[in-house]
Amino acid sequence: MRNKGLIEVIKKGLFWLLVIIIFIYLVFPFYWAINSSLKSEAQLQMTPATFVPRDPETYKFAPTLQNYRAVFSNDKFVRGLINSAIVSMLTTLLALAVGSVSAFALGKLRFKGKTLSLYLILAMTMFPQVTVLSGLYAVINHLGIKAIPSMILSYMLFTLPFTTWVMTSFFKSLPNELLQSAQVDGATPFQTFYKILLPLTAPALVTTGLLSFIAAWNEYLFALTFTSIEPTARTVPVAIALFTGEVSRQIPFGEIMAAAVIVTIPLVVLVLIFQKRIVAGLTAGAVKG
């Protein structure tokens, strides 16, 4: 008996050790960014580098908020945050709405040309962004679309195939008995889709939504191109990339790190809010057997 208890304790200890290792691995470079963002230019140049901001002479803990002040007083950055939020949110919603409807057809309905459709959708995302850029720019120009909607539309090039494919695989994995019983109850295919299947794929919707949101939040090249004539529409990555040092042409590392921290925190909060939706066992109990 005692032995068994000991094994349990060791198992638990090893598990927590694993969790801690994973935690440090995932977070450390971000911690380093926070650490660097609280250092002054002189502190950044200190050798050896310190784990917390320290005064170069007295070696006491001496963080500074000057980088954060500089970033927040930069209205291009603040406007970038708002633009990024709008663009990423609308991109995600559009991709999820359009993509999951297609995914339902591709995952659960039988029709001619299914394989072709799947490959065609995937093929859209197989070109490097640089190559597509000039053609896409011509289309957007020709249609006279403004910067923000043009970003949303062009981001569909990578978010739509992604959401469609991931949701298709999830729809496929849902048991067919669900559909049959709905049908027996007299539900139309569309009712089956949004009343039964959609709630069941909530974890998948949240997952793909988060990943698409982050992809849109990160996108740089399209944003740079489409906001070139409309600087007020610039998103955060573009704003950060255009940071320049005040004194020389040297890269303002402290400010970039502060901006990185500010830009990442909303996403972490977002994940914290939504992670409950990625909840275990949603499908368990939905079907017997």
Q: Which stretch binds another protein (CB under 8 A): 54-62, 66-74, 75-83, 174-182?
A: 174-182
Q: Considering the rule CB under 8 A, would residue 226 count as an interface residue with another protein?
A: no
Q: Nearest approach, Cβ of 6 to another protein (angstroms)?
A: 19
- Residue 66 or 118 with smaller CB distance to another protein: 118
CA 93 remoteness from chain centre? 13
Radius of gyration of the chain (CA): 24
Neighbour-count burial for 245-259, b at 16+ CB within 10 Å, e otherwise: eeeeeeebbbbbbbb
Provide, rounded to whole angstroms, the least separation between the CB of residue 265 and another protein: 9
Query: What is the nearest approach in angstroms of another protein to the Cβ of residue 5?
Result: 19
Is residue 127 involved in binding another protein (CB under 8 A)? yes
* Interaction between residue 191 and another protein (CB under 8 A): no
170 near another protein, judged by CB under 8 A: yes
Which of 65/120 has CB closer to another protein?
Answer: 120
Q: Does 144 participate in binding another protein (rule CB under 8 A)?
A: no
**Backbone phi, psi, residue 104, to 5°:** -60, -45
Contact segment (CB under 8 A) with another protein among 2-10, 52-60, 63-71, 265-273 equals 265-273
State which residue, 7 or 138, has the beta carbon closest to another protein.
138
Residue from 1, 126, 229, 247 touching another protein (CB under 8 A): that is 126
Are residues 109 and 190 in contact, defined by beta-carbon separation less than 8 angstroms? no
Of the candidates 57, 110, 186, 246, which one interacts with another protein according to CB under 8 A? 110
What is the residue type of 118? L
- Asked if 108 interacts with another protein (CB under 8 A), we say yes
Three-class secondary structure assignment of 232-254: HHCCHHHHHHCCCCCCCCCCCHH
Can you give the three-state secondary structure of 9-74, one letter per residue? HHHHHHHHHHHHHHHHHHHHHHHHHHHHHCCCHHHHCCCCCCCCCECCCCCCECCCCHHHHHHHCC
Nearest to 227 by CA among 146, 157, 142: 146
Is omega for the bond preceding 53 within 30 degrees of 0, making it cis?
no
For the segment 270-289, give every residue that binds another protein (CB under 8 A).
271-272, 275-276, 278-284, 287
Q: Does residue 170 contact residue 108 with C-beta atoms inside 8 Å?
A: no
Rounded to 5°, the CA angle 135-138-140 comes to 110
Q: Are 67 and 254 in contact (CB under 8 A)?
A: yes
Residues 47-106 that bind another protein (CB under 8 A): 47-49, 98-99, 101-102, 104-106
Residue 133 CB contacts under 8 Å (≥ 6 apart), including other chains: 221, 222, 225
Q: Does residue 141 interact with another protein by CB under 8 A?
A: no
- Choose between 2 and 195: whose C-beta lies nearer to another protein: 195
Cβ 45 to another protein shortest distance, Å: 6
Q: Which is nearer to another protein, 5 or 285 (CB)?
A: 285
List binders of another protein among 11-40 (CB under 8 A). Answer: 15, 18-19, 22-23, 25-27, 29-30, 32-33, 36
**218 belongs to the binding site for another protein (CB under 8 A):** yes
